[in-house]
């Protein structure tokens, strides 16, 4: 009898399947980089600069060499003899591996020690003597842009000042005209503070060079193993087939584990020199002060408005502080990532964005921290500007958004800054959020409370962000196109092995990828093993960041399954002795159209592929697929927060937070909700406490978990999630959109807008994040904006 499988029962699409990776993690049997122990392994520690800007006048490592157990001390000078003192960044700049001439930020790598154990290596680092001749420090990019500012990158020819780039997009003249016609111009200036992805697991690597095979194996904390392999091949000039990058379990990435760091390079060189495995595991301070930070962008934004609330034009100038080296991990064509995705979800006729990037004496980075290349800043700026504009018009926040959101019948929607939004039901999401939070009711409560001197506020953030780079026409990193891949082998008994070019760090790929296979082939998800992260076995892919796994690798999985199904259909025709055209597919089974009882399962087809294939057919049932997406996917989200601010202390409490996410078809709803909840937690973190700043000497404040505040279970509020609105992505094979970072991208503005709403009437337009109680208190009592920009040094 014909019997299509129950998709949920086999763990297919839409099943909240429990995660398979959990089985090892809950037993403490994960295999993270630091868990790996190789025979004869040595340990590396890095000595970092204590100062932010100085000339190195002397390095004396002789005392370190004398310590028993020390095998090697690496300095910039030694790296230079091998042409490895500098390395290229992912943004066409160079970065020092170990400093030779100068140090340019606090925490910069100066020397490395390789020893029998990490304690000895640390002792030896302390025994290295270095003389630093201090130079003037610049930690504020406005100051860095002044004509008399010290030039930070004097190592670069043709680098006159500290400006890295000036980049613009949009229609400057058209935008000017829109502003001339505006009834009201609303302007907002603010700073999105420097932040750090700070996964709990720090970065690390174990390099293992085997002289007898000439093969270099590197176990490392990387979200993009194939990019690393390419980088190692190019930088260390090793043949690519002799390099194997293995990314074992990763203890969180969030963009921090995309770039190439000096520690990786040094451990590789040390292993080649010593012919022994060399392990480097960074400490938390090293991670926070030297590896990929995020954000640190200043906004000067303006909206041209008609009295009735219609936006006529948008103008944005941004100033990004990239630190001492421009090492953003982002598509090469766009200097400030996808900042120009700002205002995508609103129907804005004309817009212009001008972006400037600057060097300062701060750590390099600019990684996409739970973010698709600066879209976090883009959406934060957008929603803060929306909030200010509605107030300037004296208009209700929800109504102002209703008037301007792109309507359902406007898709596909071309934005004035060049994106094509694929689909959405923005209005439905907003209304759902308003209903869930009890909007009108809350507005009344707020008025009541105000009479008693209590400050309540509500903040809305609606946004659509571009997820899943490429397409390859526009998106590449150093010329490597941003596509992704999948490869599947269906074994004889119908079980399967799936490999992709992505690399999860907690997103649950081992679980969800098998669900796509179940959906496409009817093979129960439990019968599918998923492997990622080993460049010797996985097909080439660009890795996992910027919520690109489901949009790109997930699509490749569906496509490779369809190739396999096409072959299985031929096998089915052979087994059923009918022509292929007479065969129909239902989940897990082919059958004869005219006689639905006559059928064969996918497992029977798999067996036939190895034991009973038709004459002339190539044996086996496996294939691969490279997927180049036609466009980015555009999920939409509406986040609404209500707060109460204590006017006496500036402390604010979240009363309620409602999140409506339309991320297209959900493969595993449990995992999708988990991603949203994680993102909301980080949104709360950024708005309330988490940031990195510097004093005027360039000392990093936020260099450890006592200063870099991450909310715990105690501070973090509860969240109410809604997933009722589903707009499938029209160009994705299974209708899915990215989701992993939406909440971290769109969430912060909802919290900040809520607090600003509570402060309405004080004349305060902005408090820079994080909204620490002292900043809020200052705004309330002094009735002025509070800036979080780092200090300008006055002593020259």
Partner 1 sequence: MTIIYEETGAEGGPEIPQQRVTIRVNGRKVIAEVEPRLLLAHLLRHGMGLTGTHTGCDTTNCGACTVLVDGRAVKSCTMFAVQAEGREVTTVEGLATQSELHPLQEGFKEEHGLQCGFCTPGMMMAAKALLDRNPDPTEEDIRWGLSGNLCRCTGYQNIVKSVLWAAEKLRSQSAG
Q: Which stretch binds partner 1 (CB under 8 A): 246-254, 541-549, 615-623, 754-762?
A: 246-254
From partner 1, ligand FES, none, interface partner of 411 (C-beta below 5 to 8 A by class): none
Reply yes or no: is the peptide bond before residue 412 cis, omega within 30 of 0: yes
Nearer to partner 1, 162 or 256 (CB): 256
Report the distance separating Cα 600 and Cα 404, nearest Å: 54
Q: Is 233 helix (H, G, I), strand (E, B) or coil?
A: helix
Residues in 108-167 that interact with ligand FES by CB under 6 A: none
Q: Which stretch binds partner 1 (CB under 8 A): 151-159, 279-287, 297-305, 455-463?
A: 279-287
Evaluate whether 351 touches 417 at the Cβ level (below 8 Å): yes
Q: Which stretch binds partner 1 (CB under 8 A): 395-403, 501-509, 581-589, 760-768?
A: 501-509
Nearer to ligand FES, 196 or 229 (CB): 196
Q: Which of 48, 53, 71, 102 binds partner 1 (CB under 8 A)?
A: 71
Report the distance separating Cα 545 and Cα 794, nearest Å: 40
Residue 796 in contact with partner 1, rule: CB under 8 A? no
Q: Which stretch binds partner 1 (CB under 8 A): 20-28, 310-318, 386-394, 455-463?
A: 20-28
Residue written as token pair 């934060």: 380
From partner 1, ligand FES, none, interface partner of 67 (C-beta below 5 to 8 A by class): partner 1
Measure CA 110 to chain center: 28
Report the distance separating Cα 70 and Cα 93, nearest Å: 34
Residues in 236-275 that interact with ligand FES by CB under 6 A: 252
Residues in 87-146 that interact with partner 1 by CB under 8 A: 115-116, 119
Nearer to ligand FES, 19 or 43 (CB): 19
CB of 533 to partner 1, least distance (A): 13
CB neighbour list of residue 660: distance below 8 Å, 6 or more residues apart: 429, 430, 432, 433, 436, 637, 638, 639, 722, 723, 724, 725
Nearer to ligand FES, 200 or 566 (CB): 200
Residue written as token pair 């010797």: 536
Residue 582 in contact with partner 1, rule: CB under 8 A? no
How many residues of this chain bind partner 1 (CB under 8 A)? 65
Residues in 286-315 that interact with partner 1 by CB under 8 A: none
From partner 1, ligand FES, none, interface partner of 66 (C-beta below 5 to 8 A by class): partner 1
Residue 275 in contact with partner 1, rule: CB under 8 A? no
Which has the closest alpha carbon to 750: 652, 684, 655?
684
Residue 522 in contact with ligand FES, rule: CB under 6 A? no
Residue 26 in contact with ligand FES, rule: CB under 6 A? no
From partner 1, ligand FES, none, interface partner of 404 (C-beta below 5 to 8 A by class): none
Residue 6 in contact with partner 1, rule: CB under 8 A? no
Residue 200 in contact with ligand FES, rule: CB under 6 A? yes
CB of 5 to partner 1, least distance (A): 24
What is the H or E stretch that residue 429 is in? helix 426-437
Residues 594-633 as b/e (b if ≥16 CB within 10 A, e otherwise) read eeeeebbbbbbbbbbbeeebeeeeeeebbbbbbbbbebbb
Evaluate whether 259 touches 221 at the Cβ level (below 8 Å): no
Does residue 741 have an active-site annotation? Answer: yes
Residues in 28-57 that interact with ligand FES by CB under 6 A: none
Q: Is 69 helix (H, G, I), strand (E, B) or coil?
A: coil
CB neighbour list of residue 34: distance below 8 Å, 6 or more residues apart: 201, 204, 279, 281
Residues 61-84 as b/e (b if ≥16 CB within 10 A, e otherwise) read beebeebebbbbbbbbebbeeeeb
Q: Which of 451, 616, 714, 794 binds partner 1 (CB under 8 A)?
A: 714
Per the residue annotation, which of 223, 382, 505, 603 is the catalytic one? 223
Strand partners, 637: 463, 661
CB of 682 to ligand FES, least distance (A): 11
From ligand FES, partner 1, none, interface partner of 364 (C-beta below 5 to 8 A by class): none
Per the residue annotation, which of 605, 741, 765, 793 is the catalytic one? 741
Per the residue annotation, which of 370, 503, 565, 765 is the catalytic one? 370
Does residue 112 have an active-site annotation? Answer: no
Does residue 675 have an active-site annotation? Answer: no
Q: Which stretch binds partner 1 (CB under 8 A): 142-150, 475-483, 503-511, 512-520?
A: 503-511
Residue 718 in contact with partner 1, rule: CB under 8 A? yes
Which has the closest alpha carbon to 635: 735, 719, 543, 544?
735
Report the distance separating Cα 243 and Cα 313, nearest Å: 51
Residue 595 in contact with ligand FES, rule: CB under 6 A? no
Per the residue annotation, which of 371, 638, 663, 742 is the catalytic one? 371
Give DSSP secondary structure letters for 322-361.
-TTS----S-TT-TTTTGGGTTTTB--S-EEEEEEEE--S
Report the distance separating Cα 472 and Cα 530, nearest Å: 26
CB of 676 to partner 1, least distance (A): 9
Report the distance separating Cα 217 and Cα 60, nearest Å: 32
Residue 159 in contact with partner 1, rule: CB under 8 A? no
Evaluate whether 629 touches 470 at the Cβ level (below 8 Å): yes
Nearer to ligand FES, 249 or 662 (CB): 249
Residue 506 in contact with ligand FES, rule: CB under 6 A? yes
Nearer to ligand FES, 213 or 713 (CB): 713
Q: Which H, E and C letters describe 711-734, residue by residue? A: CCCCCCCCCEEECCCCCCCCCCCC
Report the distance separating Cα 735 and Cα 407, nearest Å: 20
From ligand FES, partner 1, none, interface partner of 250 (C-beta below 5 to 8 A by class): partner 1
Q: Is 677 helix (H, G, I), strand (E, B) or coil?
A: helix
CB of 741 to ligand FES, least distance (A): 15
CB of 193 to partner 1, least distance (A): 18
Report the distance separating Cα 92 and Cα 80, nearest Å: 20
**Mask: binding to partner 1, 183-212, rule CB under 8 A, as x and -?**
--------------xxxxxx----------
Does residue 177 have an active-site annotation? Answer: no
From ligand FES, partner 1, none, interface partner of 677 (C-beta below 5 to 8 A by class): partner 1
Report the distance separating Cα 639 and Cα 314, nearest Å: 23
CB-count exposure of residue 787 (10 Å: 0-12, 13-18, 19+): middle
Report the distance separating Cα 729 and Cα 270, nearest Å: 48
Nearer to partner 1, 67 or 233 (CB): 67
Contact positions vs partner 1 (CB under 8 A): 18-19, 21-30, 32, 34-35, 37, 65-71, 115-116, 119, 197-202, 249-254, 283-285, 505-508, 670-671, 673-675, 677-678, 680-682, 704-706, 710, 712-714, 716, 718-719
Give catalytic residues, as residue numbers: 223, 370-371, 741
Contact positions vs ligand FES (CB under 6 A): 200, 252, 506
């Amino acid at each position: 009898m014909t019997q299509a499988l129950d998709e949920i029962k086999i763990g297919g699409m839409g099943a909240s399947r429990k995660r398979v990776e959990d089985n090892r993690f809950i037993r403490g049997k994960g295999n993270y980089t630091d868990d790996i122990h190789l025979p004869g392994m040595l340990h590396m520690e890095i000595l970092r600069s204590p100062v932010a800007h100085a000339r190195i006048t002397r390095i004396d490592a002789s005392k370190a060499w004398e310590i028993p157990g020390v095998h090697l001390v690496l300095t910039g000078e030694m790296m230079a003899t091998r042409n490895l003192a500098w390395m290229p960044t992912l943004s066409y700049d160079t970065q020092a591996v170990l400093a030779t001439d100068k140090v340019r930020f606090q925490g910069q790598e100066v020397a490395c020690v390789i020893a029998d154990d990490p304690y000895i290596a640390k002792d030896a680092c302390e025994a290295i003597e270095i003389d630093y001749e201090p130079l003037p420090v610049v930690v504020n990019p406005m100051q860095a842009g002044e004509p008399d500012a010290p030039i930070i990158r004097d190592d670069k020819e043709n680098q006159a000042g500290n400006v890295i780039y000036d980049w613009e997009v949009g229609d400057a003249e058209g935008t000017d005209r829109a502003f001339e016609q505006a009834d009201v111009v609303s302007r907002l200036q603010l700073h999105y503070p420097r932040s750090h992805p700070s996964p709990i697991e720090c970065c690390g690597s174990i390099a293992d060079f085997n002289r007898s095979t000439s093969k270099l194996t590197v176990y490392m904390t990387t979200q993009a193993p194939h990019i690393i392999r390419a980088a190692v091949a190019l930088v260390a000039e090793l043949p690519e087939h002799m390099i194997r990058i293995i990314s074992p379990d990763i203890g969180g990435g969030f963009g921090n584990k995309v770039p190439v760091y000096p520690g990786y390079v040094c451990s590789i060189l040390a292993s080649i020199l010593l012919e022994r495995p060399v392990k480097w595991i960074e400490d938390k301070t090293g991670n926070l002060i030297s590896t990929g930070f995020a954000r640190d962008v200043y906004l000067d934004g303006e909206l041209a408005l008609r009295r009735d609330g219609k936006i006529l034009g948008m103008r944005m100038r941004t100033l990004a502080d990239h630190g001492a080296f421009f090492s953003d991990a982002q598509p090469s064509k766009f200097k400030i990532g996808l900042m120009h995705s700002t205002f995508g979800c609103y129907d804005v006729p004309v817009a212009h964005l001008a972006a400037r990037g600057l060097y300062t004496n701060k750590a390099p980075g600019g990684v996409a921290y739970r973010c698709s290349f600066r879209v976090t800043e883009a959406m934060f700026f957008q929603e803060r500007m929306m909030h200010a504009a509605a107030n300037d018009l004296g208009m209700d926040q929800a109504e102002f958004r209703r008037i301007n959101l792109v309507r359902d019948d406007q898709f596909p929607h071309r934005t004035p800054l060049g994106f094509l939004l694929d689909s959405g039901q923005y209005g439905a999401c907003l209304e759902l959020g308003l209903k869930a939070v009890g909007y009108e009711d809350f507005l009344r409560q707020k008025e009541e409370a105000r009479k008693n001197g209590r400050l309540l506020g509500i903040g809305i953030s609606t946004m659509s962000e571009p997820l899943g780079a490429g397409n390859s026409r526009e998106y590449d990193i150093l010329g490597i196109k941003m596509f992704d891949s999948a490869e599947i082998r269906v074994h004889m008994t119908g079980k399967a092995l799936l490999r992709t070019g992505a690399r999860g760090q907690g997103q649950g790929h081992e679980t969800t990828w098998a669900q796509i296979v179940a959906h496409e082939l009817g093979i129960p998800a439990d019968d599918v093993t998923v492997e990622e992260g080993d460049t010797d076995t996985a097909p080439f892919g660009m890795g996992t960041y910027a919520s690109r796994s489901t949009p790109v690798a997930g699509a490749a999985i569906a496509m490779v399954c369809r190739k396999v199904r096409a072959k299985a259909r031929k096998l089915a025709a052979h087994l059923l002795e009918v022509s292929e055209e007479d065969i129909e597919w239902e989940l897990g089974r082919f059958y004869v159209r005219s006689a639905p009882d006559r059928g064969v399962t996918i497992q029977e087809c798999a067996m036939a592929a190895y034991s009973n294939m038709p004459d002339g057919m190539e044996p086996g049932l496996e294939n691969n697929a490279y997927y180049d997406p036609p466009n980015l996917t555009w999920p939409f989200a509406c986040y609404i927060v209500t707060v109460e601010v204590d006017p006496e202390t500036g402390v604010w409490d979240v009363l309620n937070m409602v999140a409506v996410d339309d991320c297209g078809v959900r493969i595993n709803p449990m995992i999708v909700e988990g991603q949203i909840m994680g993102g909301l937690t980080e949104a709360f973190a950024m708005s309330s406490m988490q940031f990195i700043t510097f004093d005027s000497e360039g000392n990093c404040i936020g260099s450890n978990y006592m200063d870099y505040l991450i909310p715990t279970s105690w501070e973090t509020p509860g969240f109410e999630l809604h997933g009722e609105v589903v707009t499938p992505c029209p160009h994705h094979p299974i209708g899915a959109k990215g989701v992993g970072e939406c909440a971290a991208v769109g969430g912060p503005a909802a919290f900040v807008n809520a607090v600003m709403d509570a402060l309405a009437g004080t004349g305060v337009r902005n408090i820079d994040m994080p909204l620490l109680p002292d900043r809020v208190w200052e705004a309330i009592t002094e009735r002025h904006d509070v800036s979080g920009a780092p200090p300008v040094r006055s002593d020259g």
